[in-house]
Amino acid sequence: MRISLPISRGLFVLMLLVSAPMAGRALDNGLARTPPMGWNSWNKYACKGLNEKVVRETADAMVSSGMKDAGYQYVVMDDCWQVGRDAQGNILADPERFPSGIKALADYVHSKGLKFGLYTDVGTMTCAKRPGSIGHEYQDAKQYAAWGVDYLKEDWCNTLPGQNSESSYTLMRNALGEAGRPIVFSICEWGSTKPWLWAGQVGNLWRATPDIQDCWDCKRSWGGGGIAPILDLMDGIESYSGPGHWNDPDMLEVGNGGMTNEEYKTHFSMWAMFSAPLLAGNDISNMSPETKEILLNKDVIAIDQDALGQQARRVKKTGDLEVWSKQLSDGGRAVALVNRSAATASISASWTDVGYPDSLSATVRDLWTKKLSSNVKGSFSADVPSHGVVMVRLNP
Ligand code: GLA
């Protein structure tokens, strides 16, 4: 039968509409409307230290430390939980490290009112040379759902020559979509193919930067770096982040010992300014009072979790002295004064820097010292220690 031209053209347009990429739209799985909060094993335990005892103790500590009440929710196992595949291709957990099996561990985490996460890789092997997911995406996603997985991080090691990041991650997104369980999808290709340009409809979060190092401003030859280089990499990609689809500057190093508490305060404050995922990366069963004070600062967490989901912009930079500003859902602003220099310095932020008229009268609340100043007009300033931050909330 001949189809008349107008109908075939209409069909063609319809097909185009159905298949057209929905540019700018977020992944429609309803998850991670605010940045995910939780813990991930990698920064502290790496490959060697991961086992079911650590994960159980972490889940216990998440509750007893008050972190659960503060909003931390996901307990995520990173690389090295997996050891091979059986004859049917099913992914196998390391029986020595996980004698009770992954399902039992997920059940334990769930019994604490928490959620459970796992790690995989788009290539043939993970970065630590455990089995990758290539060719097994649907099979693995089904297995993860059956185990009770709520969060999946997928890495970018040992890919095939020419393997495309967007299509590889889209494959896993589709597999998770059909697995029958809501699973937050965390893309981890280190920012190497500018995921902010394509991942909004593919993942709930994507690493925008290489691996974090537990240092203020070190840079590794392979790309990893400390807090200062990450601040620079986050500058300029603000508009791609928002509810359900977040730029991820990597997991937290707070409490791991490589930085001063002042630097950790800056690290945590800036991750909150960025609306970054807050995945603690330390031993939360043995935290110093200072580490606890940082990770449990509810005023700073509230800035991270603000419903508007805006990523802070660097609105002023004078050498090593910076002002970052983030609009909040109540019309307020979170403002961070950051001193990257080697000595204490005074930094000021004016209302026009943060998008307010000069004449506006606002309260200024310091989110670390809790000091409140009322009827402030035009600007505020503060002495900021070396590598430190003063973080405030402005409300007109
Ligand atoms: C990569 C990732 C890290 C971690 C390791 C595990 O480097 O970026 O976050 O998952 O692999 O091997």
81, 127, 189: residue to mutate for ligand 1 pocket, most atoms within 8 A of CB: 127
Q: Nearest C-alpha to atom 9 of ligand 1 is from which residue?
A: 211
Among the listed residues 196, 221, 191, 220, the one whose alpha carbon sits nearest the alpha carbon of residue 208: 191
Q: What is the mean pLDDT of the chain?
A: 95
Ligand 1 atom nearest to 156, measured from its CA: 1
pLDDT digits (tens, 9 = 90+) for 63-112: 999 999 999 999 999 999 999 999 999 999 999 999 999 999 999 999 99
Residue nearest to atom 12 of ligand 1 (CA): 127
Residue nearest (by alpha carbon) to ligand 1 atom 3: 211
Distance 264 CA to ligand 1 centre (A): 21
Place of tokens 């007893």: 64
Does pLDDT of 24 surpass 90?
A: no
Please tell me whether the overall predicted TM-score, pTM, comes out greater than 0.75 for this model. yes
pLDDT tens figures, 200-241 = 999 999 999 999 999 999 999 999 999 999 999 999 999 999
Ligand 1, atom 6: nearest CA belongs to which residue?
79
Residue 17 or 329, more confident: 329
pLDDT confidence tier of residue 26, bands split at 50, 70 and 90: confident
What number is the average pLDDT over the span 175-194?
98
**What are the structure tokens assigned to 313, written together?**
């912009």
* Ligand 1, pocket-test mutation among 39, 44, 78, 133, most atoms within 8 A of CB: 78
Spacing, Cα 77 to ligand 1 middle (Å): 11
Distance CA 235, CA 241 (A): 12
Average pLDDT estimate for 275-289: 98
pLDDT tens by residue, 105-163: 999 999 999 999 999 999 999 999 999 999 999 999 999 999 999 999 999 999 999 99
Residues recognised as catalytic = 155, 211
Instruction: Give the number of the atom of ligand 1 that is nearest the alpha carbon of residue 119.
Output: 10
DSSP of 147-186, one letter per residue?
Answer: HT--EEEEE--SPPTT--HHHHHHHHHHHHHTTTS--EEE
Distance CA 321, CA 324 (A): 10
Cα dihedral 27→187→54→81 (10° resolution): 110
Give the pLDDT confidence of 162-172 residue by residue, as tens digits: 999 999 999 99
Q: Rounded CA gap, 284 and 78, in Å?
A: 16
Predicted confidence (pLDDT) at residue 19 exceeds the cutoff of 70: no
Probe target for ligand 1 pocket from 211, 213, 220, 252, with the most ligand atoms within 8 Å of CB: 211
User: If you measure from the C-alpha of residue 157 to the centroid of ligand 1, how many angstroms do you get, rounded to a whole number?
Assistant: 9
Interval between CA 356 and ligand 1 midpoint (Å): 41
> Could you give the CA distance from residue 304 to residue 272 in angstroms, rounded to a whole number?
4
Give CA separation, 311 vs 134, 246, 249, 308, in Å: 33, 9, 11, 9
pLDDT value, residue 17 = 41
Of the candidate CATH numbers 3.20.20.140, 3.20.20.70, 3.30.420.10, 3.40.50.300, the domain formed by 10-304 belongs to 3.20.20.70
Calculate how far, in angstroms, residue 199's C-alpha sits from the geometric centre of ligand 1: 19
Helix (H) or strand (E) holding 62: helix 52-64
The CATH architecture assigned to 313-395 reads Sandwich (2.60)
Query: In one letter, which amino acid is 375?
Result: N
* Residues lining ligand 1, Cβ inside 6 A: 42, 78-79, 119, 126-128, 155, 188, 190, 211
- To the nearest 10 degrees (0 to 180), the angle between helices 165-177 and 137-147 is 40
Q: What is the separation of C-alpha 380 from the centre of its chain, rounded to a whole number of angstroms?
A: 30
> What beta strand segments (E) does the chain contain?
37-40, 74-76, 82-85, 91-93, 115-121, 151-155, 184-187, 205-207, 246-248, 278-280, 313-318, 321-327, 333-339, 345-350, 361-366, 372-377, 379-384, 389-395
Cα 211 to middle of ligand 1, angstroms = 7
Domain with CATH 2.60.40.1180 in the chain: 313-395
If you search the block for the tokens 């997104």, which residue do you land on? 173
> Which atom of ligand 1 approaches the CA of 190 most closely?
8
User: Stretch 315-320: mean pLDDT, rounded?
Assistant: 98
> Which residues of the chain are in CATH 3.20.20.70 domains?
10-304
